[in-house]
Amino acid sequence: MKVSRVFVANRGEIALRIIRACRDLGIETIVAVSTADRESKPAKAADRAVCIGPPQAIDSYLKVQTMIAAALGSGADAIHPGYGFLAERPDLVEACEKNGLIFIGPTADNIRKMGDKLLAREMGRKLGIPVIPGSEMVATSEEAQKAATKLGFPVLIKAAAGGGGKGIKTVHVPEDIKDVFEEASGEALAAFGDGRLYIERYIPNARHIEVQIIGDRQGNIIHLFDRDCSLQRRYQKILEEAPSPVMTAELRKRICDAAVRIATHIGYQNAGTIEFVFDQDQESFYFLEMNTRIQVEHPITEMITGVDLVKEQINVAAGNPLSISQYDVKVSGHSIECRINAESPDRNFHPSPGHIDAWDPPEGEGIRIDSHCYAGCVVSPYYDSLLAKLVTWGTDRFDAIKKMQYALDHFTISGVDTTVPFHQYILKNKDYLEGRINTRWIEDTVLRGYGQ
Amino acid sequence: MEPITQEDIFLILKLIEESKYDEMHLEIGDLKIDVRKQGNRASVVDSKCVSEKTAKPAVSVPPPEKMKKDERASDTAGAFTDESGLTPIKASLLGTFYRAPKPGAPAFVEAGQNIAADDTVCIIEVMKLFNTVKAGVSGRIAKICAKDGEMVEFQQTLFLVQEAGDLDGEMRKSA
């Protein structure tokens, strides 16, 4: 198999990221654009842009058949789905196979196995990898009540088909479980077409730690160490860093080994991420879920390992063995990513679409910006609000933090509200600097103090 | 000398349209006019018909060699054509454009043919799903802008129609 023309089935910064990787590899690119993205940076950077539909993603970026037709019609031999949109749709993978296109990602079977959280939990248990104490599927609110009482409140009600922070609800007291159960069941059915729920113990002092892995078609699977994505708001990541500042060498080895075992067990191909919950009080970790795609925060792994994950994705999708072995992957320094979104931190992170009048990103040694924005571009209300991933690399955590403080102070954006001031606030916070944070910290501590 | 008028431009366009030349460069004092006929760049499908300023030409059969950057440069290729006065029939979805109901069958419509709004003008196929496209306007097919069997993009102009009752359409074309 040879990849010589890649169809990019995505938009925004990740489309541009894929186009750049292809350009370095001498591969041509076609990018799918909706009518709202005809003037976008990816449209200009690709060898060709193909208009696939109207701005609403449901009629453009989420249409499997249209993507396949556009890829075939433009003579592409491979499709890269990026993240979001169609990235974890097994039907796209199968449609690619049927039409002789290479899917730059995992197999349909890989996606299905990991898409069902109940199945994933069962697999973790079978492999002897701890999962968060919880129930099997709960079919009724009575079953939910029983399971929750056994685990002890508060508990989380989770959708079996959920993931990426979607389909999770916290229940603090037994009286609430009936209402929350009904609500969660309806929402899961509407959002995922699958209303199955289960109950999980709530871990109050947790960190979100994930391990990057990549596998080839020959069956080799390696990990590229961990990322700490504990700074979240409503289960959405805000700031990530690599490696995690709280992992000891021993814990790191165990968590990375567990990730490789899970990926090996399902014969995983291409790039993926195994997510864990790290209980800081018990110093123990639990397998949470696997994301079967390249992730938003992949650049921080690239910064500390020197491995270009998108190029490696294309390499293994073409059927080549991994260009690196586990032995070659070494961690050097520390990296932080701030997600710069078009949102107003002062107005409860309300989206702030509009026209970007000024766009002047910071520059300097150890500063990387993945962005599709430019002065004069329009932030469309149709898509997510990510404007840029501001990434710094330093010789150690403190160095990376210093560079991030500088970079945030020298990032000029006008025309839309952004999360830059919020990141500036975090980067000066003593708790953050000293590593006394958990997944609740943004909502419980920062948001109470922010703007006061 | 006299300033150049709309009538003059119309005459110049007419001149080249009826000539056997593909290009014309005209200089009158400070005024320079470059006129290029369509179709002299083989791989570009009638880029004049792509009415959206930024729409890229459809090249659905992969060229054997690398895509050339100028294949995309449709923005200026047909800039002199003023299509006002003609109504486009646009693709309502991305897919393969077929002029006939099946291979070998006569085309739904030919250039110069009169059509009613309800008439089927073509088929757009997406992964074996065949979508018939209605004219949506009545009048005369002035131009067929897409190639049979090739991919058309969302909102790409497929046909240009001289709407019925639009008697002064020819004159407005030059305005």
The domains found in chain A, sorted by start residue, are 5-103 (3.40.50.20), 133-201 (3.30.1490.20), 206-449 (3.30.470.20)
Look up A293 and say whether it is catalytic: yes
In the beta sheet, which residues pair with residue A169? A157
A55–chain B nearest CA distance, Å: 11
- Domain of B75, in residue numbers: 38-173
A64–chain B nearest CA distance, Å: 10
pLDDT in tens for each of the 175 residues of chain B?
555 666 676 666 666 666 666 666 666 666 666 666 554 333 333 333 433 333 444 434 443 445 544 444 333 333 334 456 899 999 999 999 999 999 899 999 999 999 999 999 999 999 889 999 999 999 999 999 999 999 999 999 999 999 987 544 454 444 4
Cβ pair A204, A252 in contact under 8 A = no
Q: For chain B, how many helices (H) and strands (E)? A: 3, 10
What pLDDT, in 10s, does the model give residues A339-350? Answer: 999 999 999 999
Please compute Rg for chain B using Cα positions: 18
Nearest to B94 among A69, A75, A95 (CB): A69
Q: Do A66 and B93 make contact, defined as CB atoms within 8 angstroms?
A: yes
A412: its two tokens: 């000029």
Whether B12 maps to a domain, the answer reads: no
Tell which wins on pLDDT, A188 or A334.
A334
Q: Hey, which residues 56-75 in chain A have their CB within 8 Å of chain B?
A: 60, 65-66, 68-70, 72-75
Nearest to A49 among B56, B151, B155 (CB): B56
**What distances in angstroms separate CA A132 from CA A203, A257, A311, A440, one per listed residue?**
9, 18, 34, 17
pLDDT of A62 > 90? The answer is yes
Whether B91 maps to a domain, the answer reads: yes
Tell which wins on pLDDT, A180 or B3.
A180
Name every residue whose Cβ is closer than 8 Å to that of residue B11 and which is 6 or more positions away in sequence.
none
What was the pLDDT predicted at B46? 38
Domain tally, chain B? 1
Q: Do B62 and A74 make contact, defined as CB atoms within 8 angstroms?
A: yes
Is B60 an interface residue toward A (CB < 8 Å)?
yes
Q: What percent of chain A has pLDDT over 90?
A: 94
Cβ pair A16, A41 in contact under 8 A = yes
Is A325 an interface residue toward B (CB < 8 Å)?
no
The residue from A11, A89, A121, A293 that is catalytic is A293
What was the pLDDT predicted at A68? 97
Lowest mean pLDDT among A49-63, A168-182, B72-86: B72-86
What was the pLDDT predicted at B14? 67
Q: Do B62 and A66 make contact, defined as CB atoms within 8 angstroms?
A: no
What was the pLDDT predicted at B165? 72
pLDDT of A113 > 80? The answer is yes
What pLDDT, in 10s, does the model give residues A65-92? Answer: 999 999 999 999 999 999 999 999 999 9
Query: Using alpha carbons only, what angle is made at residue B172 by residues B167 and B175, rounded to the nearest 5 degrees?
Result: 165
Q: Do B154 and A54 make contact, defined as CB atoms within 8 angstroms?
A: yes
What was the pLDDT predicted at A262? 97
Name every residue whose Cβ is closer than 8 Å to that of residue A75 and which is 6 or more positions away in sequence.
A5, B60, B61, B62, B63
For A211-234, what is the mean pLDDT? 97
Whether B33 maps to a domain, the answer reads: no
CB atoms within 10 A of CB B156: 25
Cβ pair B35, B23 in contact under 8 A = yes
Whether B14 maps to a domain, the answer reads: no
Q: List the end-to-end C-alpha distance of chain B, in Å, as a whole number.
A: 22
H-state helical runs in A328-429: 397-409, 420-427
What was the pLDDT predicted at A167? 84
Nearest to B154 among A47, A51, A75 (CB): A51
pLDDT of A236 > 90? The answer is yes
Nearest Cα residue in chain A from B151: A73
Q: Do A51 and B95 make contact, defined as CB atoms within 8 angstroms?
A: no
CATH number at residue B93: 2.40.50.100
**Treating both helix axes as pointing N-terminal to C-terminal, what angle do A309-317 and A298-305 enclose, rounded to 10 degrees?**
100
User: What stretches of A139-294 adopt beta strand conformation (E)?
Assistant: 155-163, 166-171, 197-201, 206-215, 221-233, 236-242, 270-279, 284-291
Q: Do A38 and B66 make contact, defined as CB atoms within 8 angstroms?
A: no
Residue among A126, A131, A122, A32 nearest A76 (CA): A32
What pLDDT, in 10s, does the model give residues A389-399? Answer: 999 999 999 99
Whether B62 maps to a domain, the answer reads: yes
Count A/B contacts: CB-CB distance under 8 Å: 72
Whether B126 maps to a domain, the answer reads: yes
Lowest mean pLDDT among A157-161, A205-209, A400-404: A157-161
- pTM reported for the whole predicted model: 0.84
Whether B24 maps to a domain, the answer reads: no
Q: What is the dihedral of CA A224, A225, A229, A230, to 10 degrees?
A: 170
pLDDT of A144 > 80? The answer is yes
Confidence of residue A162 (pLDDT cuts 50, 70, 90): confident
Residue type, A148: A
CB under 8 A, 24+ apart: contacts of A256-261: A256/A211, A256/A223, A256/A225, A256/A226, A258/A127, A258/A129, A258/A211, A258/A285, A258/A287, A259/A211, A259/A213, A259/A223, A260/A213, A260/A221, A260/A222, A260/A223, A261/A127, A261/A129
